[in-house]
């Protein structure tokens, strides 16, 4: 089955800096890669996703890149703000059913003012 | 408002006492899933359902049961809870493959088994 590894487990940056979170996956058939943000005490929420036929996707200050050959994908946050502080989860899923979504172990991002 | 509703939000129970965590969605989603979240382990899938009366095991199904008798409801049943099932549980739903792929999560249920 699919296995997703996520690094780093914690990341501290200064406000305005960029943050990068990296994930690798094991199943070359995986074709959909969402990223979730979970603020303290709240539910995970989808912030951006990418499909295997796309190499990069941007949405304002966040972007995701995908390298299918190396089987890794990354989340990039530019101009970080204190409200970006949260736990971020990457995930991978294969097949048209998309029902087996496998998550990474999470990255706790702390943005200091 | 489109949402996934879980109840209860917090639950403390004793070992062996059967319990049910309810999950309901009002978006007419076909797919529903249960996850547990533990520190350092991320979110792990317990069971999922692709439609009414269609369920299957996720990665950590031991000790859990589910049912999908109606499209909107997907309860999680712990027949004989044990302390290692102490965790934060999330129910989630989404459209089928033709629709949006992202899951919408419920608010979570923090379960403590003593």
Written as tens digits, the pLDDT of chain B (114 aa) is 779 999 999 999 999 999 999 999 999 988 899 999 999 899 999 999 988 999 999 889 999 999 999 999 999 999 999 999 999 999 999 876 544 467 889 999 999 999
* pLDDT value for A98: 58
Q: A6 CA to chain B: closest CA distance, Å? A: 10
Check if the beta carbon of residue B21 is closer than 8 Å to that of residue B6. yes
**How do strand B10-13 and strand B109-113 relate by DSSP bridges?**
parallel
Torsion of CA B4, B7, B9, B11, to 10 degrees: -150
pLDDT value at A54 more than 90: no
* pLDDT value for A33: 92
**How do strand A72-77 and strand B76-78 relate by DSSP bridges?**
unpaired
Mutate to test the interface with B, among A5, A44, A102 (most CBs of B within 10 A): A44
Q: Which residues contact B82 (CB under 8 A, 6 or more apart)?
A: B15, B16, B63, B113
Check if the beta carbon of residue B105 is closer than 8 Å to that of residue B99. no
3-state secondary structure of A79: coil
CA pair distance B73, B29, nearest whole angstrom? 10
pLDDT value at A9 more than 80: yes
CA pair distance A112, A30, nearest whole angstrom? 35
Beta strands in chain B (DSSP E): 4-7, 10-13, 19-25, 31-38, 42-51, 54-57, 65-66, 76-78, 87-94, 104-105, 109-113
* pLDDT value for B100: 47
Q: Comparing C-alpha atoms, which of A108, A111, A7, A24 is closest to residue A61? A: A111
Q: Does A27 touch chain B (CB under 8 A)?
A: no
User: Is B43 close to A98, i.e. CB distance below 8 A?
Assistant: no
* pLDDT value for B26: 94
Q: A83 CA to chain B: closest CA distance, Å? A: 20
3-state secondary structure of A83: helix
CA pair distance B112, B28, nearest whole angstrom? 31
């Amino acid at each position: 089955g699919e296995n997703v590894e996520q690094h780093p487990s914690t990341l501290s940056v200064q406000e305005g800096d960029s943050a990068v979170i990296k994930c690798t996956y094991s199943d070359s058939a995986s074709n959909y890669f969402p990223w979730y943000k979970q603020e303290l005490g709240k539910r995970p929420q989808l912030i951006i996703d990418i499909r295997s036929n796309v190499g990069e996707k941007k949405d304002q200050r966040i972007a995701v890149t995908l390298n299918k050959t190396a089987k890794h994908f990354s989340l990039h946050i530019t101009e970080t703000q204190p409200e970006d502080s949260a736990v971020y989860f990457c995930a991978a899923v294969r097949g048209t059913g998309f029902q087996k979504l496998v998550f990474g172990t999470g990255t706790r991002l702390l943005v200091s003012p | 408002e489109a949402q996934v509703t879980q109840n209860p939000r917090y639950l403390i129970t004793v070992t062996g006492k059967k319990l049910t965590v309810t999950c309901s969605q009002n978006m007419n989603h076909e797919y529903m899933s249960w996850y547990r979240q533990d520190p350092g382990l991320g979110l792990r899938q317990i069971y999922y359902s692709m439609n009414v009366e269609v369920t299957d095991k996720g990665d950590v199904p031991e000790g859990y049961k589910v049912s999908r008798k109606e499209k909107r409801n997907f309860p999680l049943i712990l027949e004989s809870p044990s302390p290692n099932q102490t965790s934060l549980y999330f129910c989630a739903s989404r459209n089928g493959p033709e629709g949006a792929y992202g899951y919408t999560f419920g608010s979570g249920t923090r379960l403590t088994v003593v």
